[in-house]
Amino acid sequence: MKQSLIIALDFPNLIQTEQFLNQFSSEKLAVKVGMELFYQNGPSIISYVKEQGHDVFLDLKLHDIPNTVKKAMTGLAALGADMVNVHAAGGRNMMEAALEGLDSGTAAGKKRPLCIGVTQLTSTSQEQMNLDQNIAGSLEDSVLHYAKLTQQAGLDGVVCSSHEVKTIHERISPEFLTVTPGIRNAGGQTHDQERIATPEQARNFGADAIVVGRAITGAKDPLTAYLDMKAAWEGISC
Ligand SMILES: O=c1ccn([C@@H]2O[C@H](COP(=O)(O)O)[C@@H](O)[C@H]2O)c(=O)[nH]1
**In degrees rounded to 5, what are phi and psi of residue 179?**
-110, 120
Domain that holds residue 74: 4-234
- Across-strand partners of 122? none
Report whether residue 117 contacts ligand 1, using a CB cutoff of 6 Å: no
pLDDT at 238: 55
pLDDT at 122: 99
Binding residues for substrate: 10, 32, 59-68, 122, 184, 193, 213-214
pLDDT at 26: 82
pLDDT at 2: 81
Report whether residue 193 contacts ligand 1, using a CB cutoff of 6 Å: yes
Are 102 and 153 contacting, i.e. CB atoms less than 8 angstroms apart?
no
CATH of the domain at 225: 3.20.20.70
pLDDT in tens, 134-164: 999 999 999 999 999 999 999 999 999 999 9
**Number of structural domains in the chain:** 1
ipTM above 0.95, yes or no: yes
User: What region does 12 belong to: left with phi over 0, alpha with psi -120 to 50, or beta?
Assistant: alpha
The rounded distance, in Å, linking the Cα atoms of 55 and 49 is 8
The rounded distance, in Å, linking the Cα atoms of 147 and 117 is 7
Kindly give the number of the ligand 1 atom that is closest to the alpha carbon of 10.
16
Is-catalytic flag, 59? yes
Report whether residue 34 contacts ligand 1, using a CB cutoff of 6 Å: yes
The rounded distance, in Å, linking the Cα atoms of 193 and 126 is 13
- Assign 3-class secondary structure to the chain: CCCEEEEECCCCCHHHHHHHHHCCCCCCCEEEEEHHHHHHHCCHHHHHHHHCCCEEEEEEEECCCHHHHHHHHHHHHCCCCCEEEEEHHHCHHHHHHHHHHHHHHCCCCCCCCEEEEECCCCCCCHHHHHHHCCCCCCHHHHHHHHHHHHHHCCCCEEECCHHHHHHHHHHCCCCCEEEECCECCCCCCCCCCCCCECHHHHHHHCCCEEEECHHHHCCCCHHHHHHHHHHHHHCCCC
Kindly give the number of the ligand 1 atom that is closest to the alpha carbon of 161.
1
pLDDT at 74: 98
Give the pTM.
0.98
Q: Which residues of the chain have pLDDT under 50?
A: none
